[in-house]
Amino acid sequence: MQDILFDFISKYVSLNDEEKNAILSLDLFRSLKKGTILLKEGQRSNESYFVLKGCIRTYYIIDGEEKTTAFFTEMDALTPHCVATKTPSQYYVSCLEDTIVTVSNSDMEVEVNTKFPKFETMCRMLSEELLAKQRLDLDEFKTSSPEQRYLNLLQNRPDLIQRVPQHQLASFLGIKPQSLSRLRARLLEKKS
Amino acid sequence: MQDILFDFISKYVSLNDEEKNAILSLDLFRSLKKGTILLKEGQRSNESYFVLKGCIRTYYIIDGEEKTTAFFTEMDALTPHCVATKTPSQYYVSCLEDTIVTVSNSDMEVEVNTKFPKFETMCRMLSEELLAKQRLDLDEFKTSSPEQRYLNLLQNRPDLIQRVPQHQLASFLGIKPQSLSRLRARLLEKKS
DNA sequence: ACGGCTCGTTCACTTAAGTTAAGAAATACG
DNA sequence: CGTATTTCTTAACTTAAGTGAACGAGCCGT
């Protein structure tokens, strides 16, 4: 499990044994049961997550309805908005499956970043990369129809369609569950 | 004009005179005429921009149609996707108005980050903040209708509605220009 | 000043998503 | 094991966005 983390880190910086041990000594790993809520609307938090196994999602409750907007699976990192801005959270974060994550808090990060500038470099690179990637996601969402978005998801993250409940997928695609059902039926028609 | 930059930086780190001079000596400032294209689809680039005055936008050409997806105005920073990933760009970047920006390239940034770790800290904080903020934008987009998105824009960035052509606003909102016209007409109806 | 373009709006028509409701299927739980 | 609850699908109807076309207004360059 640690290897997954170090493999990921090695994409950005190379760590020596001392540095690896420093990270391990922080005792970051945690196992979470399906359904565990990591963050609620209105709460403050300073915890960031990195998913080693499983899946966590973010969702809002708007007019009493759950609106799922993002899924984080293996090798995905999540720093909730409220952590970056020190404000109460606008959304919930919870485990869709039994999940293993690393949990870090901002105090730890400040400390590690100071001690190992290399680590800060990694965080900067990672954030910049995710920022650019997320921009593409937003652009793709803006420029395509629900049907195209579904087909795209089928291409790029087929695992999600298997492991995530339909109604959560629907709101992730920006539509209602009924529309997703219909859309899928329509696509099956077309194929045949 | 320099003050705008230093005011912005001061939100993240405080610079002494030596550091400020180091930045000024890089000769970052540039004036661009309306219509200037900073980046084309397929091109590679290592330049990042920070808008001091004016407006730049990103757009795609899909099936021969321009799809505008983002606007960057005063105090906005843009590192195109292709810069972060060293790949050819998928979109265009161009000036909507006469614009004054700072331009930095990745080599410079590596150099400055090495010389002034403070600067790297700023970049990391900024990226993390933008990443979190952009996540909210995407979430808002997913969870609301075109009409709500328009009303939201009216609230949060009323200046855009004034300074940007309607058809570009439309694709920014994820709809066709005709739909935006209709939507606006509908809202005027409702008000009266 | 003229002709050509782009831009915004409007209209009629098509298509797809939202809404409401009902029922079937799957899942959770005592 | 059976009941309750959640989830998924289907259907009928409503609403809004997409499409194609036309028109007028403003802008550009010659």
Domain ranges of chain A: 2-129, 144-192
Say if the Cβ atoms of B84 and A129 lie within 8 Å.
yes
Question: What is chain B's length?
Answer: 192
Contacts of B15 (CB under 8 A, 6+ apart): B6, B9, B23, B118
Contacts of A56 (CB under 8 A, 6+ apart): A38, A49, A71, A72, A78, A93, A94, A95, A96, A99, A101
Q: What is the mean pLDDT of residues B171-182?
A: 97
Predicted local confidence at residue A184, as pLDDT: 96
* Chain A residues 7-46 with CB within 8 Å of chain B: none
CB of A146 nearer than 7 A to strand C: yes
Residues above pLDDT 90, as percent of chain B: 91
- Probe site for chain A from B85, B104, B138, B179 (most A CB atoms < 10 A): B138
CB of A167 nearer than 7 A to strand C: no
A119-131 as b/e, with b when 16 or more CB fall inside 10 Å? bbbbbbbbbbbbb
Contacts of A64 (CB under 8 A, 6+ apart): none
Return the residue of B nearest to A106 by Cα. B125
Say if the Cβ atoms of A139 and B84 lie within 8 Å.
no
- Residue A29 clears pLDDT 70, i.e. is over it: yes
Average pLDDT, chain B: 94
Paired with B60 in beta bridges are B67
- Residue A189 clears pLDDT 90, i.e. is over it: no
The nucleotide whose C1' lies nearest the CA of B166 is C8
**What span, in angstroms and rounded, lies between the C-alpha atoms of B67 and B61?**
6
Count Cα atoms within 13 angstroms, Cβ side, for A115.
11
Predicted local confidence at residue A2, as pLDDT: 85
pLDDT tens digits, A115-172: 889 999 999 999 999 999 999 999 999 999 999 999 999 999 999 999 999 999 999 9
Q: Chain A contact for B114, CB < 8 A?
A: no
Predicted local confidence at residue B152, as pLDDT: 97
Q: What is the mean pLDDT of residues A37-53?
A: 96
Q: Which pair of tokens denotes residue A46?
A: 């300073």
Q: Which is it for the CA torsion A156, A67, B128, A55, positive or negative?
A: negative
- Residue A192 clears pLDDT 70, i.e. is over it: no
**What span, in angstroms and rounded, lies between the C-alpha atoms of B163 and B140?**
23
Q: What is the mean pLDDT of residues A78-107?
A: 95
Question: Checking phi first, is residue B54 left (phi over 0); if not, alpha (psi -120 to 50) or beta?
Answer: left
Predicted local confidence at residue A24, as pLDDT: 92
Beta carbons of A138 and B137 less than 8 angstroms apart: yes
Q: Which pair of tokens denotes residue B9?
A: 């930086």
pLDDT tens digits, B3-52: 899 999 999 999 999 999 989 999 899 999 999 999 999 999 999 999 99
Contacts of A173 in chain B (CB under 8 A): 142
Q: Write out the CATH class of domain B2-116.
A: mainly beta
Superfamily of domain A2-129: Jelly Rolls (2.60.120.10)
